[in-house]
């Protein structure tokens, strides 16, 4: 059995997750636990574009939609990039401000990972 990968929380992602409704926290927490153990997550959806390498979880609760975005692409750790309540009124797409934050934190996670592993980013 492989060991669990540590979770590294980028920016305010941990406190943002903690502020979500209990059911959403439990669902996202269970999914992240599965990712730590290397399991494929049925509910996970890969992001595209500059966010390629990031995976998104989505959960509906009391008429609201919550999302958690993380990456498993960096060997040996799970980096949680962003946890948020979707507020966009236009369809299912992720709002641009959230995409920009995800892209910035993904770039920061890659740099942090390289630094933690003694590599140049």
Helix, strand or coil for residue 16?
A: helix
Residue 120: per-residue pLDDT: 60
Two structure tokens written together for 111: 């740099």
What is the C-alpha separation between 101 and 11, in angstroms, rounded?
A: 10
CATH, range 7-116: 3.30.2310.20
Going residue by residue through the chain (121 aa), what tens digit of pLDDT does each one get?
A: 568 999 999 999 999 999 999 999 999 999 999 999 988 888 899 988 778 889 999 999 999 999 999 999 999 999 999 999 987 666 677 888 999 999 999 999 999 999 988 876 5
Q: Are 93 and 59 in contact (CB under 8 A)?
A: no
Can you give the residue ranges of every domain in the chain? 7-116
Residue 51: per-residue pLDDT: 82
DSSP 42-72: TT-EE--GGGTT-EEEEEEETTEEEEEEEE-
Long-range contacts: 39-42, Cβ < 8 Å, 24+? none
Q: Whole-prediction pTM value?
A: 0.90
């Amino acid at each position: 059995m492989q060991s669990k990968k540590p979770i590294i929380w980028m920016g305010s992602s941990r406190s943002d997750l903690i502020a979500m409704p209990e059911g959403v926290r439990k669902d996202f927490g269970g999914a992240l636990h599965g990712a730590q153990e290397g399991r494929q997550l049925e509910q996970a959806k890969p992001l595209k574009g500059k966010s390629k390498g990031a995976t998104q979880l989505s959960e509906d609760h009391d008429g609201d939609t919550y999302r958690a975005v993380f990456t498993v692409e960096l060997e040996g750790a799970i980096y949680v990039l962003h946890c948020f309540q979707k507020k966009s009124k236009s369809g299912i797409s992720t709002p641009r401000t959230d995409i920009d934050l995800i892209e910035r934190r993904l770039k920061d996670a890659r740099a942090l990972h390289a630094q933690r592993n003694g590599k140049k980013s």
